[in-house]
Each structure stands twice: as structure tokens, then as C-alpha cells.
């Protein structure tokens, strides 16, 4: 039976450690880290995410603010707000909640955020920094996944064979870059890959970021592997709504030595890493390193 990696417990621990550090740094800086979230429109899922982010930011001692704008906000108005926040010395992290209404070009808005305040880690400057191995604000979900892998396997991942399933800009590609930075031998597989199961069976570490419910089963997993399930899929089973990952947990956990559950694995790490990025940005912008 596998070790089930408890993302909730790990994230809670991390928030407690951050709260201690924030209290200390606040004395030195004379201010607390400021995280601001921009929400345009009334998307219900986005409202839940923004509320959770705000609550957890306050829990660690940040000044958490929100800018809730109507659906009719123009791109120019949104860019003017981003510019104002870029120049606000009390704000260290800016997050623009996606999706944005269709009349606004997401790329233009995300690219307007100061890369040093880009706590989502999506700005091309931060993507470039990650790919050339410079310090950067890292994309939250893959960064959280690396924390969980190290929690399970220890800090030294050098030489491990890692397979990332999925090549999106927000998960698959940065995940591969982070594992490469840890000196893993990394393979990315995707919808056009042939012999995908065979490739996954070679892996010491499998990261599934596909968006296909329970696609990865025991046949894909090497005995003793570490399996990280990024997927969040809402399905109907036995007449009930259920949240499942990209991994068939029941069968994969018979083979894996370590595995994340869904929910309660990678999910809670995403907000924890957003807070960690804000703390990192705060230390850099306030010269506290
Ligand atoms: N836990 C969290 O906080 C968190 C955060 C972000 C995302 N997620 C979840 O993670 C999952 C992936 O998200 P994403 O944004 O990366 O999704 P995405 O942009 O849709 O990318 C999915 C990737 O999976 C690949 N793929 C699709 N079908 C495949 C198949 N049958 N075999 C192999 N590869 C296949 C696609 O390949 P092609 O490129 O060839 O099309 C693509 O690269 C989703 O379930 C999402 O909800 C969770």
C-alpha cells in the first residue's frame, strides 16, 4: 500500500512557517506583504477561489486586498488598474483571476503585470527566467508539486526518471522545467505520444496533468514510483457528483510507493505557493534577503 501524500497537511504546515517569517520580517520592513487579487465579472468558481486566496493570505499575516470590477470593465480600465498596482509600494503580489470576459485579451493584461509582482509566475519574463535557471516567481501548481515530490522522496531528485503527462503552459511545461532543474531525466508526453503507457512505466516520478478522469491506471505505473496527480475532473458516479484526478487512485496506489489523492493532494498546494511567491516578492522588493 502506498504512502498517501497529504497536501492539506503539508500546505497547513507551510502556512504556519510563513506566518512566523512574516511576523519577523514585518518588524524589519515596517510593513506586511501586500497581495491583491483582481476579479472581473461574476464567475462563481472564480469568486470561490478569490475568497479562499484572501482568507489564507490574511491567515499568514499579509495585507490582502481585492479589486472586484464589473463584467463591463474595458481592457483600458483594467490596464490602468494594473499600472496603478505595479507602482504601489504597499503591493508586492498582483494576481488577475482568470478567465477574463471575452472582450479583454488575457495575454495583454497578464503581460502588463510587473514581472517582480507576478505571483502567478505566468509572465513571459518569469517563464524565461525559469527556463534559463535564473531565480524567478514560479508557477504555483508545478512548484507545489515539486514540494510534494521532495516531501516524499527527499531533496535530492538527481538522476530520477520523470515523466510529465501534459504540455500546457501553466502545468506541463513548467513542471518539466522544474524537474529538469532538479537534475531529473525528464520526458514530456502528450496527446500525440506513441507508447505512452510504456514510457510512463519507466518513470520513478509520474506527474499527470491531462484533464482526463482516471486515465492513468496501475498498468502505467512502475512498482515503487511516486505519482503526482494534478488533474481535477468533476464526474457523475452512482448518481452523485464526484471530484477525481487524472489517475485511477484505487489501482495506481497498489503499485506506487507515494501518491497524491484528489482532492487533498496538489490542490491545496497551489494557494500555498501563491503565498510563498508573494513572500518571495516582498523580500526582494523590500531588500530583506
Ligand atoms: N490542482 C490544481 O491546482 C490545478 C491547477 C491547474 C490545472 N489543474 C488540472 O490539471 C489538469 C491539466 O490542466 P492543464 O491546464 O494543464 O490542461 P490543458 O491545458 O487542457 O492540457 C492538457 C494536456 O494534456 C494532454 N492530453 C490530453 N489528452 C491526452 C491523452 N489522451 N493522452 C496524453 N496526453 C493528453 C494535452 O496534449 P496536447 O497538448 O497534445 O493537446 C495537453 O498537453 C486539469 O484537470 C486541470 O483542472 C489543477
pLDDT in tens, 236-274: 999 999 999 999 999 999 999 999 999 999 999 999 999
Average pLDDT over residues 34-51: 95
What's the CA-to-centroid distance between 210 and ligand 1, angstroms?
3
* 147 Cβ closer than 6 Å to some ligand 1 atom: no
Task: Report how far Cα 94 is from the mean position of its chain's Cα atoms.
Answer: 15
Residues forming CATH 3.40.50.720 domain(s) in the chain:
140-268
* pLDDT reading at 1 higher than 80: no
Average pLDDT over residues 100-114: 97
Q: What is the CATH number of domain 30-114?
A: 3.40.50.10860
Closest ligand 1 atom, CA of 172? 16
Distance 279 CA to ligand 1 centre (A): 28
Binned at pLDDT 50, 70 and 90, residue 139 comes out as very high
Q: From the CA of 233, give the closest atom in ligand 1.
A: 45
Look at residue 159 and tell me whether its pLDDT is greater than 90.
Answer: yes
Span 27-43, average pLDDT: 96
Provide, rounded to the nearest whole percent, the portion of the chain with pLDDT above 90.
99
- Whether the pLDDT of residue 289 is over 90: the answer is no
Give the CATH architecture of domain 140-268.
3-Layer(aba) Sandwich (3.40)
Query: CATH 3.40.50.10860: which residues of the chain?
Result: 30-114
- Name the CA dihedral angle for 216, 218, 223, 226, rounded to a multiple of 10 degrees: 30
Amino acid at each position: 500500500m502506498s504512502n498517501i501524500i497529504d497536501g492539506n497537511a503539508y500546505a497547513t504546515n507551510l502556512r504556519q512557517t510563513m506566518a512566523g517569517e512574516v511576523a519577523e520580517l514585518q518588524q524589519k520592513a515596517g510593513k506586511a506583504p501586500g497581495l491583491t487579487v483582481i476579479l472581473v465579472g461574476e464567475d462563481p468558481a472564480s469568486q470561490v477561489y478569490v475568497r479562499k486566496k484572501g482568507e489564507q493570505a490574511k491567515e499568514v499575516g499579509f495585507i490582502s486586498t481585492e479589486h472586484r470590477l464589473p463584467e463591463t470593465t474595458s481592457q483600458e480600465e483594467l490596464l490602468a488598474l494594473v499600472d496603478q498596482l505595479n507602482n504601489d509600494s504597499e503591493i508586492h503580489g498582483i494576481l488577475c483571476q482568470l478567465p477574463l470576459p471575452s472582450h479583454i485579451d488575457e495575454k495583454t493584461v497578464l503581460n502588463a503585470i510587473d514581472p517582480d509582482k507576478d505571483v502567478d509566475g505566468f509572465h513571459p519574463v518569469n517563464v524565461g527566467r525559469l527556463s534559463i535557471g535564473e531565480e524567478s516567481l514560479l508557477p504555483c501548481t508545478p512548484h507545489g508539486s515539486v514540494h510534494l515530490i521532495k516531501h516524499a522522496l527527499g531533496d535530492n531528485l538527481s538522476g530520477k526518471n520523470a515523466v510529465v503527462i501534459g504540455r500546457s503552459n501553466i502545468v506541463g511545461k513548467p513542471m518539466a522545467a522544474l524537474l529538469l532543474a532538479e537534475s531529473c531525466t525528464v520526458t514530456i508526453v502528450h496527446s500525440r505520444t506513441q507508447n505512452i503507457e510504456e514510457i510512463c512505466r519507466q518513470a520513478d516520478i509520474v506527474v499527470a496533468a491531462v484533464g482526463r478522469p482516471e486515465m492513468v491506471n496501475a498498468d502505467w505505473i512502475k512498482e515503487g514510483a511516486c505519482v503526482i496527480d494534478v488533474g481535477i475532473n468533476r464526474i457523475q458516479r452512482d448518481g452523485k457528483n464526484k471530484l477525481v484526478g487524472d489517475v485511477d487512485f484505487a489501482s495506481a496506489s497498489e503499485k506506487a510507493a507515494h501518491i497524491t489523492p484528489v482532492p487533498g493532494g496538489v490542490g491545496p498546494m497551489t494557494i500555498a505557493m501563491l503565498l510563498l511567491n508573494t513572500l518571495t516578492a516582498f523580500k526582494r522588493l523590500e531588500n530583506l534577503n
